[in-house]
Amino acid sequence: MSKKVLIVTSSLRKNSNSDALAEAFAKGAESAGNEVEILSLKGRDIAYCKGCLACQRTKKCVMSDDAAEFNEKVKHADVLAFASPIYYYSLSGQLKTLLDRLNPLFSADCAFGDVYLLLTAADDTPGTEEGAVKCMQGWIDCFDNARLAGIVFCGGVNAPGDIAGAHALKEAFEKGKNA
């Protein structure tokens, strides 16, 4: 049975390494017959959450910006994948801002269950990805039916294109294929 797979990329760099992981995941998911969409945070207008919690009553945010599109797509996706460069041992600020703005989904009936995390970093020391994983796990824990289904981490990549030939690309493809 075909699934709706949504991949959200958060790097603002052209030809970024985390975008390459997202594309590999997408190719894997498509090869399994799934419907795949990649949404980038590049060029998007997504303001910070105001913390008013009106969305818990109304099921939508009081602010009007590009976050509304992401809320709707995330809500209806069967599988989610978030791609992020690691900055200061956590998710990119752009992705964290989006996760905060997905707050209207907290009390909604969401389709997604499996969530994947695709990470890149200049640092390749053991544990580099732990802060980013913990941050994403905190978001996932807010949804009863969601689970962190897989992580792909590629350290030691900094400049755009450094990831070319890395084993992580094959790993991302396989995770997408089995999503």
Average pLDDT over residues 90-117: 96
- The per-residue pLDDT for range 15-61, each reduced to its tens digit, is 999 999 999 999 999 999 999 999 999 999 999 999 999 999 998 99
Is residue 35 within 8 A of residue 67, CB to CB? The reply is no
Average pLDDT over residues 5-10: 98
The DSSP bridge partners found for residue 150 are 116
At 1 the pLDDT is 85
Is residue 173 within 8 A of residue 5, CB to CB? The reply is no
All structural domains of the chain: 4-177 (3.40.50.360)
Confidence label for 10 from pLDDT (cuts 50, 70 and 90): very high
Confidence label for 107 from pLDDT (cuts 50, 70 and 90): confident
* CA separation for the pair 57, 66 (Å, rounded): 20
At 105 the pLDDT is 95
